[in-house]
């Protein structure tokens, strides 16, 4: 491994550790602090939380294994992701379904599915980035960047929880925009670095376009197009 590659891998490890810290702080406020009783949480929440935690753990572990040239172990955990990633998507879908039926009676289908615009875009983007990462698993450069894309997705729910737990959300400010803009800004910054260094711009371009589309969906969450998609989801999956 060259010195440049070592430095780059260490930067990725540092970034993934920061993601781990943000996720821990965010979910401490809404989940971890209730250990060990976890009142009002079901086994679905525990499974969902365990899967999310395992993914963050993999994001930190995999570049460490590359740094120390543990390629066989890296490949083993890569194959393990073939199980974890689909289960994560399924758990996100089930949690969304449970949430919909919990609040539908009180707020109505239109309002609830407008809230779920963020959740559904996270689900779809995770599936997209992970699929591309696996497709390019023999192209380390692209594989790594699409995996970083999945890490950026993990920041959003954590930031939302941090904001709701520690900021005055009674203010007339749309605090949901902060995680959206942060993720999009981070993707834009990473793309800019690759462009400046004259590296392959394709991976982060896809990541950035996906986040921009997710932002657009958020603004269009009450539109007929999105609500039509919502009615389809409710009929077929909920």
- Length reported for the chain: 238
Sign (positive or negative) of CA dihedral 120, 227, 177, 40: negative
Which pLDDT belongs to residue 168? Answer: 67
What secondary structure letter does DSSP report for 133?
A: H
From CA 111, how far away is CA 226, in angstroms rounded? 12
Which pLDDT belongs to residue 161? Answer: 84
Which pLDDT belongs to residue 2? Answer: 46
HEC profile of 28-78: HHHCHHHCCCCCCCCHHHHHHHHHHHHHHHHHHHHHHHHHCCCHHHHHHHH
**Annotated domain spans of the chain:** 3-236
Which pLDDT belongs to residue 128? Answer: 98
pLDDT digits (tens, 9 = 90+) for 84-140: 999 999 999 999 999 999 999 999 999 999 999 999 999 999 999 999 999 999 998
CA distances, 24 to each of 32, 47, 122, 157, 161 (Å)? 8, 16, 19, 11, 10
Which pLDDT belongs to residue 3? Answer: 45
Residues of the chain with pLDDT under 50: 1-4, 7
- Cβ proximity of 157 and 22 under 8 Å: no
- What is the Rg, in whole angstroms, of the alpha carbon atoms belonging to the chain? 18
């Amino acid at each position: 491994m060259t010195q440049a590659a070592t430095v780059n891998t260490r930067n990725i490890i540092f970034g993934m550790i920061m993601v781990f810290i943000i996720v821990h702080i965010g979910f401490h406020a809404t989940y971890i602090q209730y250990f060990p009783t976890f009142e009002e949480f079901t086994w679905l929440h525990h499974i969902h939380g365990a899967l999310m935690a395992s993914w963050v753990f993999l994001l930190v572990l995999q570049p460490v294994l590359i740094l120390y040239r543990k390629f066989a172990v890296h490949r083993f955990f890569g194959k393990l992701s073939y199980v974890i990633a689909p289960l994560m998507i399924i758990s996100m879908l089930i949690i969304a379904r449970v949430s919909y039926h919990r609040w539908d009676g009180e707020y109505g289908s239109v309002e609830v599915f407008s809230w779920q615009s963020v959740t559904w875009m996270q689900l779809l983007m995770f599936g997209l980035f992970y699929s591309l990462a696996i497709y390019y698993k023999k192209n380390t450069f692209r594989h790594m960047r699409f995996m970083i894309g999945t890490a950026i997705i993990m920041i959003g729910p954590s930031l939302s929880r941090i904001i709701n737990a520690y900021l005055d959300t009674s203010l007339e400010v749309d605090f949901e925009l902060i995680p959206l803009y942060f993720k999009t800004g981070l993707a834009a910054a990473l793309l800019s670095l690759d462009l400046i260094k004259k590296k392959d711009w394709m991976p982060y371009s896809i990541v950035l376009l996906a986040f921009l589309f997710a932002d657009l969906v958020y603004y269009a969450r009450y539109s007929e197009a999105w609500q039509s998609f919502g009615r389809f989801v409710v009929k077929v999956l909920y």
